[in-house]
């Protein structure tokens, strides 16, 4: 009897300790959720506690939280290694909670590669994560939340590749679905209390609104200033959501102000941008925005012709980047600014050094984008193929139904045709009567439209003069300038260029500019050392990206690739 009582007590003690450990796990997870975006030291502390859990899923959750804290403290290499370790160890698992840990690790890797502008790797990770999500099985609240994140990641890469409209469409659809998804997640007890669910809903709403705003900001160079106004509106919406966070984020206002500075810079309001930077400059170290501010200051000072400050903040940015290369977002921009500034200062060696770095970085981005575009195409192609296979199989199953409905539609069509045949016959009889009445009336011949030969000759001579001049190299040169000079209008001018040159006015001017540059590069080797931005400005382009696209469309290669062939 005593032995039996002894064993019962031991069993009860084991159950008590097990329950206590489970309770501890819940406490640690609650703390990790609480501090996930506000206190990295607390994340490291409670992650270490949770790593001792007997629950395998909780141990990997602790590792994922640790990877996030490393990422947030700019230790991206360590964060990447930890994520890769999680994926390697969980490679062949079919346990659902471990798959969720894999999804979290893949998401962290996506952001690491995206911020390094390694879009090809980021896109591969996004597709890999989507395929893993599809293995979760039942399409429940967790599946819906995960697949929404996958599409958001794909939208982010689409934006990087220049598919701005596609990207925003996905993100706006995603934003509309967020409330329902987080409501359903809270019902599954995914978040342990309603406050957590509400907090992460607002966090994702703010993040998605910021992504939409960034897409408008990125596309503003290719479209209109309306995109910049839209960017400002969405940044403001994101900030208004961020102000309701519980717990609050201390850096919300600062991050919003930085985004507004980016909009002001895009609008070329550099003085206003600098004034706004000064308001939040003091907390840059606390909120880890110092690197971002250095790059923005360098851009502003360069455009305001402040040589010393341009070099100071450009060098500060590179120094921080070399010590901790977390993000390459503006690396090529800073290289380009320094190259141009040193060239203006007549310091040719330094100008050449940074020009080489600019070209190298642009080549990396271009090659990366080309590889991603190929992967993007294959992904879309495979998705289309899978969809068509599904349609094909469905058609086989519904073959007889299709034949039945086709037969019904055929009968209806015959009835409709017969009805209109009778109606049409009646109309023809009435028209025949009308024709008898008007057959003797004379028909007024149509006038043909012709351009005066003298005017055409004047325009053609004007085009010859234009080709012999350098007027087409001016940034302000456009079709209106030329029509005013030739005393004609845009319709006549466009018609004559189409007729005689077999091309549009835009293509005609683009070819004149690029052929002029090609001649310069062939005759003067010094031009081969200049930055892409400088070469663009030489032939009337105010935007280096637009120049690169136009050059590649005309020559089939980028300017930097063309210069290499000359070397």
Q: Which of 8-12, 47-51, 536-540 has the lowest mean pLDDT?
A: 8-12
CA distance 326 to 202: 26
Q: Which of 371-385, 488-502, 513-527 has the lowest mean pLDDT?
A: 371-385
**511 CB-near residues (< 8 Å, 6+ apart):** 503, 554
Token digits of residue 481: 């300038």
- Tell me what pLDDT residue 235 has: 93
Q: Quick check: helix, strand or coil at residue 288?
A: coil
More confident position, 282 or 263: 263
Q: Quick check: helix, strand or coil at residue 450?
A: coil
CA distance 145 to 330: 32
CA distance 231 to 217: 6
Tens of pLDDT, residues 137-157: 767 777 888 888 888 898 888
- Tell me what pLDDT residue 400 has: 58
- Asked if the model's pLDDT at residue 15 lies above 50, the reply is no
- Tell me what pLDDT residue 4 has: 46
**379 CB-near residues (< 8 Å, 6+ apart):** 123, 127
Q: How many CA atoms lie within 13 A of 103 on its CB side?
A: 24
**61 CB-near residues (< 8 Å, 6+ apart):** 29, 32, 50, 101, 104
- Tell me what pLDDT residue 300 has: 93
Sorting pLDDT into bands at 50, 70 and 90, what band is 3?
low
Sorting pLDDT into bands at 50, 70 and 90, what band is 264?
very high
CA distance 480 to 488: 10
Instruction: Find the mean pLDDT for residues 123-135.
Output: 87
- Tell me what pLDDT residue 430 has: 54
Instruction: Find the mean pLDDT for residues 496-517.
Output: 89
Sorting pLDDT into bands at 50, 70 and 90, what band is 161?
confident
Instruction: Find the mean pLDDT for residues 410-427.
Output: 70
The mean pLDDT of the chain is: 79
CA-to-CA dists, residue 194 to 21, 188, 208, 506, 552, angstroms:
24, 11, 21, 58, 54
Sorting pLDDT into bands at 50, 70 and 90, what band is 194?
low
Instruction: Find the mean pLDDT for residues 407-414.
Output: 77
Instruction: Find the mean pLDDT for residues 11-40.
Output: 67
How many C-beta atoms lie closer than 10 Å to residue 458's C-beta? Answer: 15
Q: Sign of dihedral through CA atoms 313, 318, 323, 328?
A: positive
More confident position, 191 or 308: 308
Token digits of residue 404: 């039945």
- Asked if the model's pLDDT at residue 377 lies above 60, the reply is no
- Tell me what pLDDT residue 260 has: 92
- Asked if the model's pLDDT at residue 528 lies above 90, the reply is no
Sorting pLDDT into bands at 50, 70 and 90, what band is 301?
very high
Tens of pLDDT, residues 319-369: 887 777 767 778 888 988 998 888 888 887 888 888 788 888 777 777 766
CA distance 340 to 346: 10
Helix axes 194-219, 225-242, angle to 10 degrees: 160
Look at the pTM and tell me if it is higher than 0.85.
no
* Chain-centre distance for alpha carbon 524: 38
Instruction: Find the mean pLDDT for residues 269-283.
Output: 86
Longest distance between any two alpha carbons in the chain, whole Å:
129
- Tell me what pLDDT residue 291 has: 85
Q: Sign of dihedral through CA atoms 435, 440, 442, 446?
A: positive
Sorting pLDDT into bands at 50, 70 and 90, what band is 503?
confident
- Tell me what pLDDT residue 391 has: 35
Alpha helices (runs of H) in 324-452, residue ranges in sequence order: 331-344, 348-397, 399-438
Helical (H) or strand (E) element with 67 = helix 56-72
Angle, CA of 531, 537 and 542, to the nearest 5°: 110
Q: How many CA atoms lie within 13 A of 244 on its CB side?
A: 14
- Asked if the model's pLDDT at residue 445 lies above 50, the reply is no
More confident position, 110 or 141: 110
- Tell me what pLDDT residue 91 has: 86
CB 166 within 8 A of CB 154: no
- Asked if the model's pLDDT at residue 563 lies above 60, the reply is yes
């Amino acid at each position: 009897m005593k032995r039996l009582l002894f064993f019962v007590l031991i069993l009860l003690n084991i159950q008590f300790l097990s329950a206590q450990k489970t309770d501890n796990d819940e406490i640690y997870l609650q703390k990790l959720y609480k501090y996930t975006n506000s206190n990295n030291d607390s994340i490291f502390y409670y992650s270490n506690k949770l790593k001792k859990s007997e629950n395998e899923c909780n141990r990997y959750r602790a590792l994922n939280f640790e990877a996030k804290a490393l990422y947030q403290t700019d230790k991206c290499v360590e964060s990447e290694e930890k994520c890769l370790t999680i994926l390697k160890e969980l490679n062949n698992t079919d346990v659902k909670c471990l798959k969720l840990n894999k999804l979290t690790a893949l998401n962290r890797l996506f952001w690491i590669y995206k911020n390094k502008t390694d879009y090809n790797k980021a896109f591969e990770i996004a597709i890999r994560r989507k395929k893993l999500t599809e293995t979760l099985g039942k399409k429940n609240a967790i599946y819906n939340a995960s697949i929404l994140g996958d599409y958001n990641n794909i939208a982010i890469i689409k934006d990087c590749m220049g598919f701005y409209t596609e990207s925003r469409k996905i993100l706006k659809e995603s934003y509309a679905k967020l409330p329902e998804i987080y409501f359903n997640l809270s019902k599954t007890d995914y978040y342990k209390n309603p406050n957590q669910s509400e907090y992460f809903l607002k966090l994702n709403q703010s993040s998605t609104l910021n992504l939409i705003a960034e897409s408008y900001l990125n596309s503003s160079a290719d479209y209109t200033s309306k995109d910049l106004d839209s960017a400002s509106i969405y940044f403001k919406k994101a900030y208004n959501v961020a102000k309701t966070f519980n717990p609050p984020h201390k850096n919300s206002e600062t991050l919003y102000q930085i985004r507004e500075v980016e909009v002001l810079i895009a609008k070329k309001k550099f003085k206003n941008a600098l004034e706004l930077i000064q308001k939040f400059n003091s907390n840059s170290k606390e909120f880890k925005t110092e690197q971002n501010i250095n790059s923005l200051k360098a851009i502003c000072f360069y455009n305001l012709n402040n040589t010393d400050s341009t070099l100071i903040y450009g060098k500060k940015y590179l120094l921080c980047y070399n010590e901790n290369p977390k993000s390459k977002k503006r690396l090529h921009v800073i290289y380009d600014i320094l190259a141009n500034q040193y060239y203006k200062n007549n310091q040719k060696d330094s100008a050449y050094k940074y020009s080489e770095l600019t070209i190298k970085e642009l080549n990396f981005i271009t090659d990366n984008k080309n590889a991603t575009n190929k992967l993007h195409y294959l992904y879309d192609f495979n998705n289309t193929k899978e969809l068509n296979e599904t349609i094909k199989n469905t058609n086989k199953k519904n073959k007889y139904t299709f034949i039945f409905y086709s037969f019904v539609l055929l009968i209806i069509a015959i009835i409709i045709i017969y009805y209109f045949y009778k109606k049409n016959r009646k109309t023809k009889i009435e028209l025949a009567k009308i024709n008898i009445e008007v057959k003797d009336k004379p028909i007024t011949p149509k006038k043909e439209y012709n351009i005066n030969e003298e005017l055409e000759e004047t325009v053609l001579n004007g085009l010859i003069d234009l080709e012999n001049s350098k007027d087409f190299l001016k940034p302000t040169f456009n079709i209106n300038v030329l029509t005013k000079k030739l005393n004609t209008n845009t319709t006549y001018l466009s018609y004559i260029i189409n007729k005689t040159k077999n091309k549009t006015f835009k293509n005609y001017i683009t070819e004149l500019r690029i052929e002029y540059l090609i001649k310069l590069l062939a005759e003067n080797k010094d031009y081969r050392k200049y930055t892409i931005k400088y070469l663009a400005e030489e032939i009337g382009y105010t935007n280096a990206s637009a120049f690169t696209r136009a050059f590649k469309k005309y020559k089939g290669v980028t300017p930097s690739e063309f210069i290499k062939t000359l070397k």
